[in-house]
Structure 1
Amino acid sequence: MEAFLYESQAARVKFGVDVRKEVRKELESLGGKRALVVSTLEQKDLAQEMAGYLGELCVGVLAEAVQHVPRETINKGMAVVRELQVDSLVPVGGGSSIGLAKALALETRFPILAIPTTYAGSEMTPIWGITENGQKKTGKNIIVKPKTVIYDPTLTVTLPPRLTVTSGMNAIAHCAEGLYAENANPIISMMAVEGITALSSSLPKILEQPEDLEARSKALYGTWLGGTVLGSVGMALHHKLCHVLGGSYNLQHADTHTVILPYAIWYNSTHAPYAMEASSKAIGSDADDVAGALFDLSKSLGVPVSLEEIGMKREDLDEAAMIATRNPYYNPRPIDESGIRSLLEFAFVGERPIQGKSL
């Protein structure tokens, strides 16, 4: 066995049906007395529900989170934080709400108690992202990692079918890239395989039976694992491309992950044999067709499989390839602009990766 380094990041996870109602007790354990509940405008009612459970420990609701965490939204949030003398943050929702809370924590060092309602996994990571001047920048800081996460599968029941699938594919992407991370280790790899298995098997069941809390619990379990993988080891080409496409061209975050995943895996397949073998067992495909199987899964679940479908313009592909290769980063296969441009062309038209043939 090769040498490896494994570091565990402290986190408290409360998982189960209706555990959201215990949010006050969890906030008290963090010492929070003046919490700000953070959400998108669309989830303001849910945010108000959480505020009700918190009682006098909540001093306000900030329902202004939007995707990609633009600097303008952070500035507005900081004004509210100062006005209300906030001492803790309770984001309710998906990556937009949790992302805004992280950005506020980056400036204030306030503890975060996260209540996710999608399968994106941001709640388990110390990774932050902020969009400014048309560019999305990301970084890591343990300060922004939520101290406590409440996973309540009942909160995902009203998640629209498309977002159910795309946020689930986002979580699968965390696991898939974790398997070929530069600092991969056996513990995280086991979590990654388990996460892919849980998500790929539960998403079809959720679409068939939206009220199936067992299937939703399984997907949320996979989300927890995917988020843990994302927060524990480095990511590579897939996540870099998604940050470029989302931040620079304002593409929907989960849709972008869903579209790009098969092509990023295809690009790396010949340079990451262990990852392909492990992923194939998790999703039940041939090792030389993991990319194609992921494409088939997305297509069978009725979500977009091309960049064109989610609003990307062909004339922007050259620029996107240039931005994505401008700064060096780890990837199992060397990154070059022509190769990434070819990947983006396949992704733009939504052509299935070819089994046994490298991109």
Structure 2
Amino acid sequence: MGTDIRVHEVYAGRVLQGAGARGLVPDEVDRLGARRVLVVAAPSSAEVAQETAAALGERYAATFGRPVQHTPVEVTAEALALAREVRADALVAIGGGSAVGLSKALAIRTGMPQVALPTTYAGSEATPVLGETEYGVKTTRRDPALAPGTVVYDPELTLSMPHGLTLTSALNALAHAVEALWDTRASAATRAYGVGAADGILTALPVVLDHPSDADARARLQEAAWLAGACLAQARMGLHHQLAHVLGGTYGLPHAELHALLLAHVMRFDLAAAPDATARLRRVAGGDPVRAVAALAARHDGPTTLGALGLPRTVLREVAERVAAAPYPNPRPVTADAVEELLLAAW
């Protein structure tokens, strides 16, 4: 088959969207014919998990409330033991990438159907992808069976997100859209998702940062994050995501903050070699997209450099060599020297 053939697949059978949509979870569980639901919830979503458990009534089996970033296999083993103990036959995941990742890890091991209620903009719920960590190494697998069958987008679940997480999570989503736009094999639909996601994030995020309780802007931002997640499901991710995986998996750095501080640096590195992506992003940014993203990243009230995040300067060369040895598809050739230079700027 020629290399210019593009393939587009659609994941997540049902998407429910709108304020109060979380109230429909019991109906979705009934559609699945499930009788024993295991709720997987981040600690920050404990209240929503309790509300969901009460709404499920006798169909509620238990809650696993300790998902961990980068989905370590030992945590999955704990959750799996609980699922077996309570004879769970379906999963409801509430939270960000960690909760959804754990739900996917359980689903692929048991065949249980999933209903996902994202509370951040991570986008994992829209993808057939799972990253798992074992002995400090993060490996990624792709399988249609990993994608939750139902996703419930309720913007009310994002209203309590703190400023820092709102910013870093939304820039994480933007990274999915940006990398889809410079993937030469992305389909027309994926590129349209990418433009829509970038437009929504760059328009709504500044409003949400200034007015966190603006429900309409939150809804717009969540919708854009959904489109960005759809990009992540379809497109090949490049240097940006590779750096995030290596730094996150090996050095335990927080996923969303990594994306937020790296994105402008990688865009500066790659957009010169991606004229079509540059033109599309310039249109939605109303000017230089690198400057727009850098200005948003600078609004973070937490670490804005790799050094501040706790990464020792001494490991930058080693990271650069690892990345260059097995590069992800990327518009600009990836060499150890170039990556080290990029990392130094981010450090």
Instruction: Report the TM-score, using the length of structure 2 for normalisation.
Output: 0.95
C-alpha deviations, 1:241-263, integer Å up to 9, x for none? 10111111111110000011111
Partners in 2 of 1:91 and 1:168 — Cα distance?
A: 20
Contact (CA 8 Å) 2:11, 2:126: kept in 1 or not? no
- Correspondence list, 1:193-272, <5 A: 193-272=195-274
| Structure 2 residue 275 is the aligned partner of structure 1 residue 273 | yes
| Structure 2 residue 335 is the aligned partner of structure 1 residue 336 | yes
Partners in 2 of 1:119 and 1:334 — Cα distance?
A: 30
Partners in 1 of 2:48 and 2:303 — Cα distance?
A: 28
Q: Name the residue aligned to 1:140.
A: 142
Q: Name the residue aligned to 2:25.
A: 23
Q: Name the residue aligned to 1:43.
A: 45
Q: Name the residue aligned to 1:347.
A: 346
Contact (CA 8 Å) 2:237, 2:328: kept in 1 or not? no
Helix, strand or coil for the counterpart of 2:132?
strand
Contact (CA 8 Å) 2:41, 2:64: kept in 1 or not? yes
C-alpha deviations, 1:46-98, integer Å up to 9, x for none? 21221111111110000010111111101101111111111111110000100
Q: Name the residue aligned to 2:120.
A: 118
Q: Name the residue aligned to 1:321.
A: 320
Partners in 2 of 1:126 and 1:221 — Cα distance?
A: 19
Q: 1:262 to 1:80 in 2, by over 3 A?
A: same
Partners in 1 of 2:295 and 2:51 — Cα distance?
A: 38
Partners in 2 of 1:139 and 1:325 — Cα distance?
A: 21
Which amino acid is the alignment partner of residue 209 of structure 2?
Answer: L
Partners in 2 of 1:142 and 1:310 — Cα distance?
A: 34
- Correspondence list, 1:73-92, <5 A: 73-92=75-94
Q: Name the residue aligned to 1:52.
A: 54
Partners in 1 of 2:270 and 2:299 — Cα distance?
A: 23
Q: 1:197 to 1:304 in 2, by over 3 A?
A: farther
Partners in 1 of 2:118 and 2:343 — Cα distance?
A: 31
Partners in 1 of 2:184 and 2:283 — Cα distance?
A: 22
Q: CA deviation at 1:40?
A: 2.1
Which amino acid is the alignment partner of residue 269 of structure 1?
Answer: L
Contact (CA 8 Å) 1:68, 1:96: kept in 2 or not? yes
Q: CA deviation at 1:311?
A: 1.9
Q: Name the residue aligned to 2:74.
A: 72
Which amino acid is the alignment partner of residue 52 of structure 2?
Answer: M
Where in structure 2 are there 5+ consecutive unaligned residues? none
C-alpha deviations, 1:280-300, integer Å up to 9, x for none? 1112223xxx32321112214
Helix, strand or coil for the counterpart of 1:324?
helix
Contact (CA 8 Å) 1:109, 1:144: kept in 2 or not? no
Which amino acid is the alignment partner of residue 198 of structure 1?
Answer: G
| Structure 2 residue 309 is the aligned partner of structure 1 residue 310 | yes
Contact (CA 8 Å) 1:174, 1:226: kept in 2 or not? yes
Where in structure 1 are there 5+ consecutive unaligned residues? 349-359
C-alpha deviations, 1:138-187, integer Å up to 9, x for none? 11011110100001011111111100010000110000000011421211
Contact (CA 8 Å) 1:182, 1:234: kept in 2 or not? no
Q: CA deviation at 1:10?
A: 4.7
Instruction: Report the TM-score, using the length of structure 1 for normalisation.
Output: 0.92
Q: CA deviation at 1:326?
A: 2.9
| Structure 2 residue 152 is the aligned partner of structure 1 residue 150 | yes
Helix, strand or coil for the counterpart of 2:19?
coil
C-alpha deviations, 1:179-210, integer Å up to 9, x for none? 01142121111111111111111111112222
Q: CA deviation at 1:303?
A: 5.3
Contact (CA 8 Å) 2:12, 2:126: kept in 1 or not? no
Helix, strand or coil for the counterpart of 2:308?
helix
Deviates more, 1:12-21 or 1:307-316: 307-316
Helix, strand or coil for the counterpart of 1:257?
helix
Q: CA deviation at 1:309?
A: 2.1
Q: Report the number of matched residues.
A: 344
Contact (CA 8 Å) 1:112, 1:146: kept in 2 or not? yes
Q: CA deviation at 1:302?
A: 4.5
Contact (CA 8 Å) 1:191, 1:229: kept in 2 or not? yes
